[in-house]
Amino acid sequence: MAAPPGEPRRVAYLYLLPAFAVYAVFLLYPIGRAVQISLYDWDGLSLGTWAGLDNYVAVVADEGLRAAFAHALVLIVFYAAGPLVIGLALAAILNHAKVRGLGFFRTVVFLPQVIAMVVVAVAWRRVYAPDGSLNSLLGALGLDSLTRGWLGDYTFALPAVGVVGTWFETGLVTVLLLAGMSRIPASLYEAARLDGAGAVREFFAVTLPSVRAEIAVALTLTVIAALRTFDLVYVTTRGGPGDSTSVPSYEVYHRAFGLGQVGSAAAIGVTLTVVIFVLSFGINRFADRRLT
Amino acid sequence: MTPHKRQPHEAGAPALTGRRRLGALMAAGVVAVCTAVFAAACAPGSSAPPPSSPRASATAVRTDAAALGNVTLTVWDQEVRGGQAAQMEKLNAAFQAKYPNIKLNRVSRSFDDLNTTLRLALSGNKPPDVVEANNGRSAMGAFVKAGQLRPLDAYAEAYGWKERYPESVLRYSRYSADGKLFGEGNLYGLPQVGEVVGLFYNAARLKALGLEPPETWAEFEAALDKAKTAGEVPLQFGNLDKWPAVHVFGTVQGRSVPPDQIGTLAFGRKGASWNTPENVRAAEQLASWVGKGYFAKGFNGQGYDAAWQAFGKGQGVFLIAGTWLLADLQKALGADLGFMLPPGATAGAAPVATGGTGLPFAITAKSPHPDAAAAYIDFITDAEAMKVLTETGNLPVADTAAQTVAEGPQKDVFTAFGTVTGKDGLVPYLDYATPTFADTLGAALQDLLAGKAAPREFLATLEKDYKTFAESNG
């Protein structure tokens, strides 16, 4: 035993093996299989025929599929950017004002996260219905001209779906940021105040830089959530009206189980995985660099 | 790769840091797993049986179920709700009582769940024996093409199913052996219930407007107009789920386009076109209804269920929908509910209505007990079974005229179905046409109704999907 204690030894890999085996069986194998299927033209039943990169070419060439990816990018604004702005404001206020019963407010903002997305979607479907509560509210405010079937409106369907995402993700982001802010030493604020900084200045000079890591985590989580949106679209609009709210994950499901185009579905899934990987990698690289 | 045995701490190893070595090992693992994947599994679906193995005719058909010995049949159905579940339970109990040697193992799932799981179940080594498979190309058609369903013609002969069912009903379960032709060829299943899309109306509302149920299409439009003027919702409608407009359009189309043309289009055969003056007229008429305010407000943003429930609450004079809503609407509206076939150009015109059958029961190709499975299917669709279906509030697909039901909406529905099947006036659902047509048509109709697409653009979208499929399908 020449190696000093703590030095990695070959035998250590044996300890990794069980975990790796599980990882391989449940993750690497399915990924490899998905990549393989994406290279075939397969209906899920009979023998598949080799299609090469045709399915991937279709992802780029098919106008409808391009639109689906574009919709997912729009949803990032609602799922990630919106909650981040609102969450920063909310957390700053809650943290700064030292609100009484902070735990209660924290629970309230976090509550949407606890509810299953399908339930959320069913509830919002009612809110957006032509005779739903949103239209009733507008009517009561004398804004009858604005009422419409929100999820069936070509201009408003995608934003309407997005707003549900904002509502859903804001709580998570707020709680994350709140945790980050509570770690900021009070001395930093005192120093800032001595330098004559107001609340706004204080926020940008002290609070914001201190929670950069939390922002990165929040963005990673919400961007991924935006890109893999499925249940919300499936329950509220099924991609409609027309194709104005279709998203990649819905297309994966729809093609694989509805239309029997499993190869095409796998290609979309693999593409989506790559997009998600690149984006979350980018976010984390960005956050890392700014931290050091 | 290295032939010699490596020593645990051989020199050279420290050149790699622990982390990098771990990375290298992981990478090697990934490569190994991936190669294993590609080496072990050939093309996806390679375990599937060779397409269309015609086995049924080879073996002699045995119809004496009691003499088949001890058999367990696994049955997958989607009869999960209300009267549907009740009839299935009754019939299964009766079957078990009659044939104690055949044990039923019933697996019941909702329509959506059945549709999404059947594909995987059928490609397994031990699929269920009897399954309810949706008629369309993306389900039954694909299963036939993959050789996973057994042609039932020998059983149809032995049990006399062709006398039991009109051909206009049987054709919904017919495919050619290669799955390419829909509507003719081998028989792959038998349905229990019938469906027809027609006009539900609120008799009380109609009366308040001083109107009778319309006898011609022009009278129907006039009634819609009068309802609009009186401030009522003329036609209750919710199209958020994309597909409901398919039934409304199908009904409008049936007034302008000859039924045989609709049949060709809907079965995805070559030889018809969406770009015809008749189809243009149908699309224009439907689009004009939006402008005239015949539909409920915000219909593209209203759910299907919410819409018919609103009709059930008395909002709306008419509702274009299928007979499957009968039980629920009758519960809500009682004697105020009426049902009729869509009226024709003249009062005596031959009836044309979108419709067909419930999901047919089919036998899987790998089932080791096809005779018992056929006996079961025969049992749940015979004359006695049709009576049970009627008692439990369903619309039996055969012997409809022979059933006795009380006056009222259920009688209306039975009469309508009897009339339209008797005169061969059922036209298939338009979304049968191609594997992707449900989607194409649903989205295109939302575009048309929202004014995003002109009638001709709308038809061009449909034509593209239909032509592409019909050409490639040979």
The 10s digit of each residue's pLDDT in B185-230 is 999 999 999 999 999 999 999 999 999 999 999 999 999 999 999 9
Q: Are residues B76 and B181 in the same domain?
A: yes
Q: Are residues B275 and B139 in the same domain?
A: no
Using 50, 70 and 90 to split pLDDT, how confident is the model at B57? very low
Q: Domain for residue B58, yes or no? A: no
pLDDT tens profile B106-150: 999 888 788 888 888 888 889 999 999 999 888 899 899 989 999
Tell me the average pLDDT across A260-264.
Answer: 90
For the ranges A11-15, A136-140, B308-312, B357-361, the lowest mean pLDDT is seen at: A11-15
**Residue numbers of the domain that contains B326:** 195-356+415-472
Q: Residue A235 and residue A120: Cα distance in Å, rounded?
A: 10
Task: Specify the number of domains making up chain A.
Answer: 1
Q: Are residues B373 and B446 in the same domain?
A: no
Residues from chain B contacting residue A152 (CB–CB below 8 Å): 239-240, 298-302, 446, 450
Residue B335 at interface with chain A, using a CB cutoff of 8 Å: no
Domain boundary among B402, B426, B458: B402
Q: Residue B377 and residue B381: Cα distance in Å, rounded?
A: 6
Q: Domain for residue B54, yes or no? A: no
Q: Are residues B366 and B221 in the same domain?
A: no
Residues from chain A contacting residue B293 (CB–CB below 8 Å): none
Task: Specify the number of domains making up chain B.
Answer: 2
Q: Domain for residue A4, yes or no? A: no
Q: Are residues B341 and B430 in the same domain?
A: yes
| Stronger pLDDT, A5 or A131, i.e. the higher one | A131
Question: Residue B37's pLDDT is what?
Answer: 47
Q: Which of B47, B439, B464 would best serve as a mutation to test chain A binding (most A beta carbons within 10 A)?
A: B439
Q: Are residues B186 and B201 in the same domain?
A: no
Q: Are residues B335 and B246 in the same domain?
A: yes
Q: Is the pLDDT of residue B18 over 50?
A: no
Question: Residue A107's pLDDT is what?
Answer: 86
Question: Residue B13's pLDDT is what?
Answer: 36
Q: Are residues B114 and B141 in the same domain?
A: yes
Q: Is the pLDDT of residue B26 over 70?
A: no
Question: Residue B226's pLDDT is what?
Answer: 96
pLDDT tens profile B361-411: 999 999 999 999 999 999 999 999 999 999 888 899 988 878 888 888 999
pTM of the model: 0.84
Question: Residue B12's pLDDT is what?
Answer: 35
pLDDT tens profile B66-103: 888 899 999 999 988 778 889 999 999 999 999 999 99
Using 50, 70 and 90 to split pLDDT, how confident is the model at B169? confident
A-B contacts (CB, under 8 Å): 164
**Residue numbers of the domain that contains A96:** 37-289
CB contact under 8 A, B302 and A33: no
Q: Domain for residue B226, yes or no? A: yes
Q: Domain for residue A24, yes or no? A: no
Question: Residue A4's pLDDT is what?
Answer: 67
Q: Domain for residue A29, yes or no? A: no
Which of A2, A36, A45 minimises the CB distance to B37? A36
Q: Are residues B276 and B160 in the same domain?
A: no
Alpha carbon of B315: minimum distance to chain A alpha carbons (Å): 12
Q: Domain for residue B44, yes or no? A: no
Question: Residue A122's pLDDT is what?
Answer: 92
Q: Are residues B362 and B352 in the same domain?
A: no
Q: Comparing C-alpha atoms, which of B369, B396, B393, B370 is closest to residue B382?
A: B396
Question: For the domain that residue B147 is a member of, what is the CATH number?
Answer: 3.40.190.10
Question: For the domain that residue A278 is a member of, what is the CATH number?
Answer: 1.10.3720.10
Q: Domain for residue B143, yes or no? A: yes
Residue B452 at interface with chain A, using a CB cutoff of 8 Å: yes
Q: Residue B183 and residue A265: Cα distance in Å, rounded?
A: 29
Q: Domain for residue A58, yes or no? A: yes
Which of B9, B26, B447 minimises the CB distance to A242? B447
Question: Residue A47's pLDDT is what?
Answer: 82
Question: Residue A3's pLDDT is what?
Answer: 61
Q: Average pLDDT over chain B, rounded to whole?
A: 87
Q: Domain for residue B202, yes or no? A: yes
Q: Domain for residue B245, yes or no? A: yes
Q: Which of A7, A47, A232, A262 would best serve as a mutation to test chain B binding (most B beta carbons within 10 A)?
A: A47
For the ranges A24-28, A222-226, B17-21, the lowest mean pLDDT is seen at: B17-21
Which of residues 133 through 192 in chain B touch A, CB cutoff 8 A? 138, 142-143, 145-148
For the ranges A52-61, A228-237, A272-281, B80-89, the lowest mean pLDDT is seen at: B80-89
Q: Are residues B227 and B141 in the same domain?
A: no
Q: Domain for residue A11, yes or no? A: no
Question: Residue B34's pLDDT is what?
Answer: 45
Q: Domain for residue B264, yes or no? A: yes
Residues from chain B contacting residue A39 (CB–CB below 8 Å): none
CB contact under 8 A, B43 and A153: no
Q: Is the pLDDT of residue B1 over 70?
A: no
Domain boundary among B341, B376, B402: B402
Question: Residue B114's pLDDT is what?
Answer: 87
Tell me the average pLDDT across B38-66.
Answer: 61
Q: Comparing C-alpha atoms, which of A38, A53, A32 is closest to residue B39?
A: A32
Q: Are residues B339 and B392 in the same domain?
A: no
Which value does ipTM take for this structure?
Answer: 0.82
| Peptide bond preceding A248 in cis form (omega within 30 of 0) | no
pLDDT tens profile A182-218: 889 989 888 988 988 888 888 888 888 899 889 999 9
Tell me the average pLDDT across A246-273.
Answer: 92
